[in-house]
Amino acid sequence: MGIVGNLTADQLQSFNSQGYIVLESFATDDDIDAMVRRMDQLVNDFDPSSTASIFSTKNQQKLTDDYFFESAEKISFFFEEKAFGDDGKLKQPKQLSLNKVGHALHEIEPAFKKFSSSNKVSSLMYSLGYKRPVIMQSMYIFKQPGIGGEVVPHQDNSFLYTEPQTCTGLWLALEDATVLNGCLWAIPGSHKKGLVRRFLRDEDGVKFDRPSPSYDQKDFVPIEVKAGSLVVIHGDLIHQSFENQSQKSRHAYSLHVVDTDGCQWAPENW
């Protein structure tokens, strides 16, 4: 028997209208615990001196780009911009200095692979009309207390472009996400206006093909969710998050999925 879609007609209508939906209690406590505990182990085993110079030294764009590109098939560690002092050393423990870990957790790490390739995730994608969904990247996002940085308004299709466009973001809250600790914000219905710009890779590195439009912050609404909730994000939805100004982290596990049936992967993607 094939996998059956698990979204209701009302949920699909809401997703098509708003550009996102929240599925509460999508992940179990056991799912969350397994991923959080494994990430704790990965971070504890990580030696920050092996990569710190890449992020703390000016004019090292090529080194940074190479580390970023190679992370597509690895588990790589990325620091917050504010993690380093003027002396190039971390200002706080490594556990509180990381921005994210990516981008192949779903392929390499069993705890993350189990959730990412679960029937409930596959069923969700089939509900959205996917024929042969493939996860292109995964990220564990920390949003550290006090230094967890802003993520500017963007669309996921900019980074993972297919023809036709098929990227969907799956953003799983591993901890409660609130306005104070940096929850997602989105412009409801903004996906209907289409893709604004693309993020392209060439021999010089990566860059956007045009400047970002300016957005009216009054158009954004907060998406506050409890741990275990999954936010499903249309690839053209304008969304962002602000700095974490609280003393509580906001861990999340993010997946980006594209269809591989009747779709062309853009060679100039990062």
The pLDDT score that the predictor gives to residue 82 is: 84
Which residue in 250, 255, 102, 108 sits closest to 179, CA to CA? Answer: 250
The pLDDT score that the predictor gives to residue 59 is: 44
pLDDT band at 166 (very low <50, low <70, confident <90, very high): very high
CB neighbourhood size of 209 (10 A)? 10
Q: For residue range 131-151, list pLDDT tens digits in order.
A: 999 999 999 999 999 888 899
Give the integer Cα–Cα distance in Å for 44 and 38.
Answer: 10
pTM of the predicted structure, to 2 decimals: 0.94
Average the pLDDT over 214-243 and give the result.
98
Q: For residue range 59-118, list pLDDT tens digits in order.
A: 456 667 788 888 889 999 999 888 888 888 889 999 999 999 999 999 999 999 999 999
Strand partners, 171: 231, 254
pLDDT band at 224 (very low <50, low <70, confident <90, very high): very high
Distance of CA 35 to the CA centre of its chain: 15
Average pLDDT over all residues of the chain: 92
Return the domain boundaries, the chain: 9-265
Question: Is there a contact between 168 and 255 (Cβ–Cβ < 8 Å)?
Answer: no
CATH number for the segment(s) 9-265 = 2.60.120.620
